[in-house]
Structure formats: C-alpha cells, structure tokens
C-alpha cells in the first residue's frame, strides 16, 4: 500500500542525478526515493560495499577511489547491471553517480535502459570543495554531516545511530582537487549530452537541502 506522502510520476521513472561531488545529489536522492518509492542506486556506494571485502578486486578499487580516479567500466558496469535487474527497479530508479562519462551514458542506451530525465544539481566549484572538506560520514549507517552547516549534536558521533563519524580517504584536499578535475573533464560534457536530448532539468543546489529537495520535486512533476 502507498503511504500518504508518496506520489507517483507516471508508470516508470528512470532518473539520473548529475552533479559534481559535493553537489548534494546523493542527499536529495535519498529523500526523493522516499517520496516516489523508487530506489537510489549510487555507484559510489556499490563500490564502497565491495571495498569492505578483503578481496583482490577491493584492493584494485581502493587504488582508483582513494586517488579520485574513475573505476574502469569493466568493473562498474557489471555491478550496475546486477543492481538494475533487481525487482525494486521495476517502477524506476535514481542513478546517483552513473553515468560519469559520455561512454557510460551510451552504454545505458545500448543496454536498453531508457532514461526519462537527467537532473543537474548546480553548485559553484568553490562551494563543492568546501562542502567535501567539511563532510563527515557515519561508519555504521552512512548518514552524512557537514561539520559547519549540519553538525552532529555530539562531535564525531552520529545523531541517528551513535556510530562513529569519519572523513573518507577521498575527502583529502588533494584528492578532492583530482575528483573535481575528473568531473570537469569527463562528467560535465554529459550536461550538454542530456540537454540536446531534451532530458535535462537544472536545479539550483546552492541553497539549503530542504529548498533543493522542494525545487527538485517541483521540476520532476512539471
């Protein structure tokens, strides 16, 4: 049964959330999944799950991720295909962190994955850098804080589950710079790619999370 707060967006809604690291797209995706009953599929989270295993693959992944480089398609694409084949994706999904290159976007098309809308979370580069440097993540439940703007009640401790908050390896200043360079070179061309396909929605993400969420929902309903 559908909860009162849930709304629908048509029969199937396959969405892409696009934006620089730190643009807040993951946080908004979490909220939108609750509203529209479609799962958030974060390729970064899928990869971080794999990192928890002490395997050869996890060591290979770590070297890419800790240095801010993109993981090869030969690793990420099969993982994503498995995830998209799960039952909860039948009514749609939010892809958060994929595609990150034109080649990945084209791969979706080749695999027969139809995308309805690509939502761009637009934030100035200086702002995203500051957001990532100050970001802390809960080791247990994955909740995200910002020590300046959304601090936990007790330093280093998650409000939701009491878990330990940490700063990820890829949140070191030199790695952030690399991730932002990779974004500008590899991922930004996707903005034009989806604009040409008339699928791009732009949301001003340089405002408080509640406002970004509200703007996203309004634009998706249009």
Enumerate binding residues for ligand AMP (CB under 6 A): 21, 43-44, 47, 64-65, 68-71, 76, 97-98, 100, 104, 170, 179
Query: Any idea which residues carry the catalytic annotation?
Result: 25, 100, 135, 168, 179
Closer by beta carbon to ligand AMP, 18 or else 213: 18
- As a whole number of angstroms, the distance between CA 218 and CA 222 comes to 6
Closer by beta carbon to ligand AMP, 28 or else 65: 65
User: What are the CA-CA distances from residue 74 to residues 78, 94, 98 (Å)?
Assistant: 7, 22, 14
User: What are the CA-CA distances from residue 146 to residues 35, 131, 149, 165, 197 (Å)?
Assistant: 24, 7, 5, 11, 35
Residue 205 CB, nearest approach to ligand AMP (Å): 15
Q: In this structure, what token pair is assigned to residue 6? A: 């849930």
Residue 153 CB, nearest approach to ligand AMP (Å): 25
The CA-to-CA distance between both ends of the chain, in Å, stands at 25
- Beta-carbon neighbour count of residue 12 at 10 Å? 13
- As a whole number of angstroms, the distance between CA 1 and CA 121 comes to 31
Q: Determine the residue with CB nearest ligand AMP.
A: 44
Closer by beta carbon to ligand AMP, 64 or else 188: 64
Residue 45 CB, nearest approach to ligand AMP (Å): 7
Closer by beta carbon to ligand AMP, 9 or else 96: 96
What is the DSSP-derived secondary structure letter of residue 7?
Answer: -
Residue 115 CB, nearest approach to ligand AMP (Å): 14
């Amino acid at each position: 049964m559908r909860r009162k707060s849930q709304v629908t967006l048509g029969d199937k809604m396959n969405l892409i959330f696009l934006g620089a690291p730190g643009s807040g797209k993951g946080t908004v995706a979490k909220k939108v999944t609750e509203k529209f009953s479609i799962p958030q599929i974060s390729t970064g989270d899928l990869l971080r799950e794999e990192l928890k295993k002490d395997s050869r693959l996890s060591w290979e992944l770590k070297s890419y991720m800790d240095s801010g480089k993109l993981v090869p398609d030969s690793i990420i694409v099969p993982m994503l295909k498995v995830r998209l084949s799960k039952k909860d994706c039948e009514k749609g999904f939010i892809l958060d962190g994929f595609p990150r290159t034109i080649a990945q976007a084209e791969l979706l098309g080749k695999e027969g994955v139809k995308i309805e809308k690509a939502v761009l979370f637009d934030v100035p580069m200086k702002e995203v850098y500051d957001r990532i440097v100050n970001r802390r993540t809960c080791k247990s439940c994955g909740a995200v804080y910002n020590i300046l703007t959304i601090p936990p009640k007790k330093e280093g401790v998650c409000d939701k589950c009491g878990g330990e908050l940490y700063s990820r390896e890829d949140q070191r200043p030199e790695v952030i710079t690399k991730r932002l360079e990779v974004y500008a070179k590899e991922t930004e061309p996707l903005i034009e790619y989806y604009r040409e396909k008339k699928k791009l929605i732009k949301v001003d993400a340089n405002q408080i999370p509640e406002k970004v969420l509200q703007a996203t929902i309004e634009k998706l309903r249009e």
